[in-house]
């Protein structure tokens, strides 16, 4: 069966548009390695592991990155200024689905002096720029409207913003004190019919409720910015003024998570503690073990500017702007 090349080439146009946007905004484009001696420490992501052999036969354990985050933050600590990158990342054990691939394209950018909300606004500007640059009908239609799978979504105006606390109350009927308490949340989940046992963790229950009751309600008319995640979900984001939460946000549209945004954590001691805790959790979960990236911690010690950062799924952006239902329509998949 012949490929729909018109749809496939939208990918090229989206990537050209992304580069044009950031060059016009004064960002520098960078390139980071795809073969690393250690990678970021997310406990629930599995990695691809390989062995590198030098010309003398010496072997070294190496990994493919789950994201370029640590490498780019080292650059920020060295004074790079605002930077962006479009690259491949790899996550093992995720299988294949219409929206997932073990190898995928990722856009990351870091806005020096920014935070999670300024980056969310930048995301809107970027999507409007892509809409204007890529969509063949942009001249003859409302420029802020994107049609995807027979439904119209408005990229302009004020994007919906809702906190995680508000979303749990609105869509799952779960109050803040229940959401943040492991035993109360497990009890509530059990009442709702979720499978809960003594070994079930708060995070497992929280993720199930997010996936089944919260995420399907987001991004139905225009993009939704879900913000202020519980501190246990902080990843590499700094704490809010309310230390129970982190300055983290995600952008959703048409049932897809498009982006993960942080006010970046710059405190090296807190970052080191989080990395160590993540590595212990990885061991507990039986994930591939590897050492902490001490070069990243040393870079943070030298000082990282206040920065807003984001990871965007390029393949999902291309799907939206090409009206593709399956990732295999817009990129090669192994």
Give the separation between CA 235 and CA 250, rounded to whole angstroms. 12
Domains of the chain: which residue ranges?
5-159+279-329
Per-residue pLDDT of the chain (334 residues; tens, 9 = 90+): 677 788 889 999 999 999 999 999 999 999 999 999 999 999 989 999 999 999 999 999 999 999 999 999 999 999 999 999 999 999 998 767 788 889 999 999 999 999 999 999 999 999 999 999 887 554 445 578 999 999 999 999 999 999 999 999 999 999 999 999 999 999 999 999 999 998 899 999 999 999 999 999 999 999 999 999 999 999 899 999 999 999 999 999 998 999 999 999 999 999 999 999 999 999 998 999 999 999 999 999 999 999 999 999 999 999 999 999 989 888 887 7
Give the separation between CA 74 and CA 229, rounded to whole angstroms. 25
Q: Which two tokens stand for residue 170?
A: 């609105």
Total Cβ atoms within 10 A of residue 133: 16
CA 30, 271, 256: angle at the middle one, nearest 5? 60
Do residues 212 and 177 touch, judged by C-beta distance below 8 A? no
Give the CATH fold of the 5-159+279-329 domain.
BirA Bifunctional Protein; domain 2 (3.30.930)
Q: Which two tokens stand for residue 165?
A: 């606390």
């Amino acid at each position: 069966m012949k490929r729909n090349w018109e749809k496939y080439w939208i990918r090229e146009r989206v990537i050209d548009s992304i580069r044009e946007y950031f060059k016009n905004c004064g960002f520098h484009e960078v390139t980071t390695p795809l073969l690393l001696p250690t990678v970021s420490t997310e406990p629930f992501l599995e990695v691809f592991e390989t062995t590198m052999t030098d010309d003398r036969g010496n072997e070294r354990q190496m990994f493919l990155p789950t994201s370029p985050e640590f490498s780019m933050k080292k650059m920020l600590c060295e004074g790079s200024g605002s930077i962006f990158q479009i690259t491949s990342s790899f996550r093992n054990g995720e299988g294949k689905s219409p929206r997932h691939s073990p190898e995928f394209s990722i856009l990351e950018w870091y806005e020096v002096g920014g935070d999670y909300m300024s980056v969310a606004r930048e995301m809107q500007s970027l999507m409007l720029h892509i809409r204007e640059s890529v969509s063949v009908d942009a001249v003859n239609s409302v420029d802020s409207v994107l049609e995807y799978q027979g439904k119209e979504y408005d990229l302009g105006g004020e994007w919906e913003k809702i906190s995680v606390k508000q979303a749990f109350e609105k869509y799952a009927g779960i109050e803040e004190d229940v959401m943040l308490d492991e035993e109360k949340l497990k009890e509530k989940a059990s009442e709702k019919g979720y499978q809960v046992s003594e070994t079930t963790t708060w995070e497992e229950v929280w993720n199930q409720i997010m996936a089944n009751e919260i995420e399907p309600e987001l991004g139905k008319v225009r993009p939704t910015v879900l913000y202020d995640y519980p501190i246990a979900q902080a990843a590499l984001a700094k704490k809010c003024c309310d230390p129970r939460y982190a300055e983290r946000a995600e952008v959703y549209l048409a049932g897809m998570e498009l982006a993960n945004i942080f006010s970046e954590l710059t405190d090296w001691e807190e970052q080191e503690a989080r990395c160590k805790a993540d590595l212990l959790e990885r061991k507990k979960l039986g994930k591939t073990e590897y050492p902490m990236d001490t070069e990243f911690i040393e870079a943070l010690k030298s000082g990282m500017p206040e920065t807003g950062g984001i990871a965007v799924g390029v393949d999902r952006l291309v799907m939206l702007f090409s009206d593709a239902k399956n990732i295999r329509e817009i990129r090669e998949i192994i």
